[in-house]
């Protein structure tokens, strides 16, 4: 029997929700509406557990334990109920310990261990015992106690609102707003943050009073008291004051060998399912690695899925994916998509609940749609770039200190040279390179932040009547918190705390759950993340050579053309779309009468559109950011 076969009956992918209130009847008053609002996350079953001043509930997408895993799940005497979104990988071990301690478990699923653990442990101790991707809620109706928890890196979402003796929580913000206790009000401070990042940083949202439970945190509530947030895990970064993490003193060969063992383990652990399972495949290093390792661990061909766009901009990775599929004999499915951008942008805003600046949500949504026709679970390569330094921006960030070491006259000449490049130079990245060159003098993290900003800083300040820099200052605070660590370690840790949490994982969750598809990300395994963080930076990036140790670990497995292929983002041709497909629609949406003009400088919006249309600049990402903002504001009549 393969080593992972003993792990069985694990998963409940779903939407969880509930409320606790000192006002009689208020907690349960909105549960039906909350369940209805999240039905897309779990269409197979729903249930609730209530008593006293609290109620918890969930919609269930059944992956394993199809017959016995429907909610509600309780302990032996029915005093404690639990709901779970995600999966707990070590639940069999926990189950054995609970049984040895005298607990009687009646189901074959992982949710039940939460109810039993809550008999003896507080929220922090409970969460520390879990290994997996999860958001959970436990209601103890005897002690009148609510426990909420979220996994270590934030794979599964969890939002809450608290006020007037009531707390409401849900997997998505729409699940909160469905409850009559929760007001729907705009937080104006979110606008400034959104223009920079394309999202509002955790724990804040676009809705006043609505927050997300941060990754690696629990929330404990006794009715009538204030909720208590506590951190239960922190990624250790070597060199940071107070961190117990130390660098691994191993070379490239040993690191690659150990990494390969980790990768085989984490992939095998995610192959358990009583429903059809497959993998996303782009033909890049990360997704190809997952498919290759799956092929070596499964007795049947891996089901792989790829989409492509037939356009002149080259946003089509089907040939690369096809080559990998043939190499490993997969059951390959590819589809050419011809998206209606107008229809999709409105749908994506609904699923995200907030404006979302990352346009790669479009192909992620479409790929999930295609994949769900054949399977219910898909493995992805998300996280490989975050762990091993796969983004060009990391190399750019490392160059800042070296550039500042050059004479000022040399730096000035270089900036002037970059400023003369045409908009289509450097594979369309010239805008970001120009912003980066102009910001080098600011040092880190400001030069790096200018590189990643969705709306360039001069435009942001022009669009806002009174720019609020709270989110940028918070970003700098996070950078300062890693003082003492090596520059790449600091960049990677900053990326895990920001982009990974609020962009990549949000996109993966909302776009897959829009179709009732569960996505598993082996690279984001906690043990693998901690191992990668302790590796020497030079094993990840040396000059412009990215992901060195990962490529070395896969050298005997993947085709050379995959290992040497430059990274391509999973994107869409925004610059062309806003000059052609979306030009008229954008004019209608952002022109006179646009809601966004009530919050931003309309003249600057017009100037950005005019520059882009004339080809004087490529503002596709900024325009997408404004368009999704407009649709969001219209939805709420703000």
- Looking at the DSSP bridge assignments, the partners of residue 57 are 17, 48
**Taking 50 as the threshold, does the pLDDT of residue 373 lie above it?**
yes
- Decide if 132 contacts 88 (C-beta within 8 A): yes
Catalytic residue among 14, 488, 528, 608: 14
The CATH label, of 1.10.3720.10, 3.40.50.620, 3.30.450.40, 3.40.50.460, for the domain at 252-338+346-389+490-564 is 3.40.50.620
Mean pLDDT of the chain: 90
Interval 144-173 mean pLDDT: 98
pLDDT in tens, 560-614: 999 988 777 667 888 888 998 889 999 999 999 999 999 999 999 999 999 999 9
Looking at residue 459, its pLDDT comes to 97
CATH architecture assigned to 12-231: 4-Layer Sandwich (3.60)
* pLDDT above 80 (res 311): no
Residue with the two structure tokens 């992982």:
110
Q: How far apart are CA 320 and CA 324, in angstroms?
A: 7
Percent of the chain with pLDDT over 70: 93
Residues linked to residue 207 through DSSP beta bridges, in sequence order: 186
**Per-residue confidence at 9, pLDDT binned at 50, 70, 90?**
very low
Whole-structure pTM value: 0.93
- C-beta separation of 340 from 585 below 8 A: no
- 227-275, pLDDT tens digit by residue? 999 999 999 999 998 888 999 999 999 999 999 999 999 999 999 777 7
Which is more confident, 554 or 580? 554
The answer to whether residues 628 and 349 touch, using CB atoms and an 8 Å cutoff, is yes
How many other CB atoms sit within 10 Å of the CB of residue 530?
A: 14
Cα angle: 224, vertex 226, 227; to 5 degrees: 115
Report d(CA 135, CA 171) in Å as an integer: 8
Per-residue pLDDT at 312? 57
Q: Across 182-191, 317-326, 333-342, which has the greatest mean pLDDT?
A: 182-191
Q: What is the pLDDT of residues 15-38, one digit of tens each?
A: 999 999 999 999 999 999 999 999
User: Pick the residue with more confidence: 68 or 573?
Assistant: 573
Establish whether 14 is a catalytic residue. Answer: yes
Q: How far apart are the first and last CA of the chain?
A: 59
Question: 533 and 237 in contact (C-beta within 8 Å)?
Answer: yes
pLDDT digits (tens, 9 = 90+) for 85-139: 998 989 989 999 999 999 988 888 889 999 999 999 999 999 999 999 999 999 9
Query: Domain residues of the chain, as ranges?
Result: 12-231, 252-338+346-389+490-564, 573-638
């Amino acid at each position: 029997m393969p080593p992972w076969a003993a792990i069985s009956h694990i998963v409940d992918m779903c939407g969880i929700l509930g409320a606790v209130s000192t006002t009689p009847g208020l907690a349960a008053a909105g549960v039906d509406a909350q369940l209805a609002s999240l039905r897309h996350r779990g269409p197979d079953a729903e249930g609730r557990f209530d008593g006293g001043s609290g109620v918890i509930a969930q919609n269930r997408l059944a992956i394993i334990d199809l017959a016995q895993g429907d909610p509600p799940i309780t302990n032996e005497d029915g005093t404690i109920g639990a709901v779970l979104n995600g999966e707990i990988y070590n639940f069999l071990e926990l189950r054995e310990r609970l049984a040895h301690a005298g607990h009687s478990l009646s189901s074959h699923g992982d949710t039940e261990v939460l109810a039993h653990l809550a008999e003896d442990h507080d929220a922090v101790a409970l969460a520390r015992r879990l290994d997996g991707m999860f958001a959970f809620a436990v209601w103890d109706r005897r002690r009148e106690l609510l426990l909420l928890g979220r996994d270590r890196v934030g794979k599964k979402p969890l939002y809450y609102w608290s006020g007037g003796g009531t707390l409401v929580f849900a997997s998505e913000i729409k699940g909160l707003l469905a409850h009559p206790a929760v007001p729907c009000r705009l937080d104006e401070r979110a606008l400034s943050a959104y223009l920079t990042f394309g999202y509002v940083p955790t724990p804040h949202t676009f809705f006043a009073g609505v927050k997300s439970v941060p990754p690696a945190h629990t929330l404990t509530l006794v009715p009538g008291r204030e909720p208590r947030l506590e951190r239960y895990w922190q990624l250790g970064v070597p060199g940071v004051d107070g961190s117990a993490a130390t660098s691994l003193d191993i070379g490239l060969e040993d690191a690659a060998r150990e990494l390969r063992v980790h990768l085989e383990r984490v992939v095998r652990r995610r192959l358990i399912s009583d429903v059809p399972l497959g993998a996303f495949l782009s033909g890049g290093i990360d997704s190809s690695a997952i498919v290759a390792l799956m092929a070596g661990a499964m007795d049947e061909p891996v089901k792989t899925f790829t989409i492509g766009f037939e356009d002149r901009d080259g946003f089509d990775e089907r040939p690369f994916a096809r080559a990998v599929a043939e190499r490993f004999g997969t059951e390959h499915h590819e589809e050419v998509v011809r998206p209606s951008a107008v229809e999709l942008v409105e749908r994506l805003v609904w699923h995200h609940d907030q404006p979302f600046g990352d346009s790669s949500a479009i192909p992620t949504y479409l790929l999930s749609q295609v994949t769900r026709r054949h399977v219910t679970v898909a493995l992805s390569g998300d996280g490989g770039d975050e762990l091993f330094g796969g983004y060009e921006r990391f190399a750019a960030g490392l160059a800042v200190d070296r550039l500042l070491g050059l004479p000022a006259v040399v730096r000035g000449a270089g900036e002037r040279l970059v400023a003369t490049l045409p908009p289509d130079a450097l594979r369309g990245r010239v805008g970001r390179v120009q912003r980066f060159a102009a910001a080098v003098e600011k040092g880190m993290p400001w030069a790096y932040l200018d590189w990643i900003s969705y709306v360039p800083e001069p435009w942001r300040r022009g669009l806002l009547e009174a720019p609020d820099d709270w989110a940028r200052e918070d970003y700098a605070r996070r950078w300062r918190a890693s003082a003492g660590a090596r520059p790449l370690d600091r960049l990677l840790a900053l990326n895990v705390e920001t982009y990974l949490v609020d962009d990549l994982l949000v996109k993966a969750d909302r776009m897959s759950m829009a179709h009732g598809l569960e996505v598993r990300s082996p690279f984001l395994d906690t043990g693998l993340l901690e191992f990668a963080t302790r590796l020497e930076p030079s094993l990840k990036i040396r000059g412009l050579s990215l992901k060195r140790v990962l490529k070395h670990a896969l050298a005997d497995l993947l085709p050379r053309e995959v290992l040497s292929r430059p990274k391509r983002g999973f994107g869409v041709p925004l610059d062309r779309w806003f000059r052609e497909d979306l030009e008229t629609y954008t004019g209608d949406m952002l022109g006179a009468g646009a809601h966004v003009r009530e919050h931003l400088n309309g003249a600057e919006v017009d100037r950005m559109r005019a520059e882009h249309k004339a080809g004087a600049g490529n503002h596709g990402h900024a325009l997408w950011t404004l368009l999704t903002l407009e649709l969001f504001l219209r939805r709420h009549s703000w």
